[in-house]
Amino acid sequence: MRIDVVTLFPDYIRYCAGFGVVGRALERGLLAVHGWNPRDYAEGNYRRVDDRPFGGGPGMVMMIDPLRTCLQAVRAADPAPAPVIYLSPQGPRLTQRKVRELAGRERLILLCGRYEGVDERLIQAEVDEELSIGDYVLSGGEPAAVVVIDAIARLQEGALGDAESAVQDSFEDGLLDCPHYTRPVEHALGRVPEVLLSGNHAEIARWRRMEALGRTWLRRPDLLDEARLSPADRALLEAFRRQYAAALEEPDGDA
Ligand code: ADE
C-alpha cells in the first residue's frame, strides 16, 4: 500500500513513521509513505502557501493553487487511483471499521491543513472524504495523519508479530481489551489473577472474554450497543455484572 501525505511538515511525518510497527512495515516494504510539501509548488520568491481570510478574522487560510499543483504532482507519481482524505475536526470520527476499510486500499492521499484551514473551494474540488480523529482541535492535520498511518500499517499483512496479532484480534469485535499481567506474580501492588496462572486455556479464554465485556460495559457502554454479542457473551456479561455488584456490596470490596 502507498500513502502520500500533503503537508507543510513532511519531516514530521517521516520522523513519526520511523518507529515500531510502522517503521518495520516501511522497512519490509509492506507500506510506502511519501511526504509532499505544497510550498515546493508555490509561486514567487516567498513561496507563499497561505493568506488572510476574506471577511476578516484571525489566522491564515491555505491557498488553493499550491495545494492543487501539489496534488497533481502526487497523482502523477503513481497510476493507482487515490482518494484524497482531508484530516479535519469537521469530518466523521475515525473508527476501527473505517481503518479496516482504508487499509484495504491500494493507495491514499492524506491532506493536512494548517492555520485556520484550507480554502473551501479546494476542499470541494479535490477532497473525497474528511476524517477527524476526535472531538478536539489540533494545530494541524499532521498528528491525525500519523494516527491514520499507524492504524493502517498494523493491519497490513505481516506487519505484526504473532504476539501482537492476538491482541489485535480481541479488538476486532468492537470491545475493549481485557487487562494484561506479567511477572512478578506477587507484588506490593497486588497478585496476578489466579485463573491466568492455572494453565487452563479454556478458563483463561473465558475470563478474558468476560473482562473484555465487563470493561466495555463499565467504560464504553455505547460500544456494547454496536457489538454483536452471542448468547454466551450475554451470559458472561451477566456473570461479570453479578460479580461486580457483589464486590460493591463487600465492606472493603474494590471492584
Ligand atoms: N485537524 C485539526 N484537528 C483535527 C482533528 N481533531 N482530527 C483530524 N484532523 C484535525
Tens of pLDDT, residue by residue over 132-162, are: 999 999 999 999 999 999 999 999 999 998 7
Report the predicted TM-score, pTM, of the whole model to 2 decimal places.
Answer: 0.93
Is residue 76 pLDDT above 70, yes or no?
yes
DSSP state of 194: G
pLDDT digits (tens, 9 = 90+) for 202-253: 999 999 999 999 999 999 999 999 899 999 999 999 999 999 999 999 876 5
| Ligand 1 atom closest to Cα of residue 134 | 6
What is the Å distance from ligand 1's center to 185 Cα?
A: 42
Is residue 63 pLDDT above 70, yes or no?
yes
User: Stretch 66-89: mean pLDDT, rounded?
Assistant: 97
- The catalytic residue among 2, 39, 68, 116 is 116
Domains and CATH numbers, the chain: 2-153 (3.40.1280.10), 168-249 (1.10.1270.20)
Q: Is 7 in the pocket of ligand 1 (CB under 6 A)?
A: no
Pinpoint the alpha helices (H) of the chain.
10-16, 20-27, 64-76, 96-103, 120-126, 142-153, 162-171, 201-219, 221-226, 231-249
Report cis status (omega within 30 of 0) of the bond before 79.
no
* CA-based R_g, the chain, Å: 23
Euclidean distance between CA atoms 59 and 228, whole angstroms? 46
Cα dihedral sign, 49-32-103-13: negative
Q: Quick one: which of 164, 45, 32 has its CA closest to 107?
A: 32
Q: Is 81 a catalytic residue?
A: no
CA distance readout (Å), 207 to 191, 195, 196, 200, 242: 16, 8, 8, 11, 14
Q: What are phi and psi of 36, to 5 degrees?
A: -130, 130
Strands 50-51 and 61-62: antiparallel
Non-local CB neighbours of 105 within 8 Å, separated by 6+ positions: 1, 83
Euclidean distance between CA atoms 123 and 125, whole angstroms? 6
Average confidence score pLDDT of the chain: 94
Q: Is 68 a catalytic residue?
A: no
What is the Å distance from ligand 1's center to 109 Cα?
A: 16
Q: What are phi and psi of 6, to 5 degrees?
A: -95, 115
Q: Is 147 in the pocket of ligand 1 (CB under 6 A)?
A: no
Q: What is the reported pLDDT for 173? A: 85
- 53: which 3 cell numbers? 481570510
Q: What is the reported pLDDT for 167? A: 60
What is the Å distance from ligand 1's center to 130 Cα?
A: 10
| 92-106, 129-143, 155-169, 174-188, range with the lowest pLDDT | 155-169
Is residue 174 pLDDT above 80, yes or no?
yes
Map residue 94 onto helix, strand or coil: coil
Place of cell 492476538: 166
| Cβ(132)–Cβ(29) below 8 Å | no
